[in-house]
């Protein structure tokens, strides 16, 4: 995974697409996010996140769903800052974080909307490696090759064995989790905050979420 915009790995979903929409469209939006996350988490492919810029909210979520994470040194951040911009972190995202940094740190970081520097992210286990920007793709390629040297059947079965229970659990509770996000999105004060939020937030331009 590698996004082209310099300095930003992925900063989020296009929240504007949730503004004044009927509930079934909002449901579809969160449903697509849930499916994308679970599919990436359970993917039989080798997935190494090449984090070449800030990876916040869904950007961080997609990174935690990968097999491992390499982040470029520099003045960018990673973490779930949804609450700082008035948004609820979806339940599926929790599992990726808890696996990497444990329950307590996950809860605390979600409540505060904490974002981490590459170095701090490595210290708490949120990323596996931090490298100079110019070495990012080389480091990622080395990791990919390492994983690819293992017999495919074995690598996939091992990944599946480790991740099966979480995947099953998320599939079982999909409707509940997506409904919770939909209900939250439809709250009046949340609807009203949508425009402001994106505009005011550090001047970051949200990367458009693929339309269903």
Say which DSSP state 82 is in: G
Q: How far is the CB of 211 from a second copy (least distance, A)?
A: 26
For residue 192, what is the enclosing H or E element? helix 188-200
When the beta carbons of 74 and 147 are compared against a second copy, the nearer one is 147
How long a stretch of residues is the chain? 212
Distance CA 24, CA 26 (A): 5
Q: How far is the CB of 148 from a second copy (least distance, A)?
A: 12
Distance CA 73, CA 119 (A): 8
How many CB atoms lie under 10 A from the CB of residue 150?
Answer: 12
Q: How far is the CB of 166 from a second copy (least distance, A)?
A: 9
Using the rule CB under 8 A, give the single segment among 8-16, 18-26, 158-166, 200-208 that binds a second copy.
158-166
Distance CA 134, CA 131 (A): 8
Using the rule CB under 8 A, give the single segment among 23-31, 52-60, 84-92, 195-203 that binds a second copy.
84-92
Residue 110 makes contact with a second copy by CB under 8 A:
yes
When the beta carbons of 95 and 207 are compared against a second copy, the nearer one is 95
Beta strands at 68-72 and 53-56: parallel, antiparallel or unpaired: unpaired
Q: Phi and psi dihedrals of 60, rounded to 5?
A: -70, -40
Say which DSSP state 67 is in: S
Residue 83 makes contact with a second copy by CB under 8 A:
yes
- Subset of 189-208 contacting a second copy (CB under 8 A): 189-190
| Interacting residue ranges for a second copy, rule: CB under 8 A | 67-68, 83, 86-91, 94, 98-100, 102-104, 106-108, 110-111, 125, 147, 150-151, 153-155, 157-159, 161-162, 164, 180, 184, 187, 189-190
């Amino acid at each position: 995974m590698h996004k082209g915009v310099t300095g930003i790995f992925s900063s989020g979903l296009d929240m504007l697409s949730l503004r004044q929409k009927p509930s079934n469209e909002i449901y579809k939006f969160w449903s697509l996010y849930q499916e994308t996350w679970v599919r990436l988490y359970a993917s039989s492919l080798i997935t190494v996140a090449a984090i070449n810029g800030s990876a916040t909210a869904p950007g961080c979520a997609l990174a935690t769903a990968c097999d491992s994470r390499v982040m470029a040194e520099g003045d960018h951040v990673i973490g779930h800052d949804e609450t700082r911009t008035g948004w609820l972190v979806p339940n599926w995202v929790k599992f990726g974080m808890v696996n990497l940094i444990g329950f307590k740190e996950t809860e605390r970081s979600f409540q505060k909307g904490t974002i981490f520097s590459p170095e701090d992210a490595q210290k708490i286990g949120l990323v596996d490696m931090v490298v100079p920007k110019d070495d990012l793709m080389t480091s990622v390629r080395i990791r990919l090759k390492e994983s690819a040297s293992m017999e495919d059947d074995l690598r996939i079965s091992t990944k599946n064995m480790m991740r099966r229970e979480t995947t099953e659990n998320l599939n079982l509770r999909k409707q509940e989790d997506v409904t919770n996000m939909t209900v939250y999105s439809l709250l009046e004060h949340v609807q009203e905050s949508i425009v402001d939020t994106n505009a005011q937030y550090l001047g970051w331009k949200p990367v458009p979420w693929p339309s269903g």
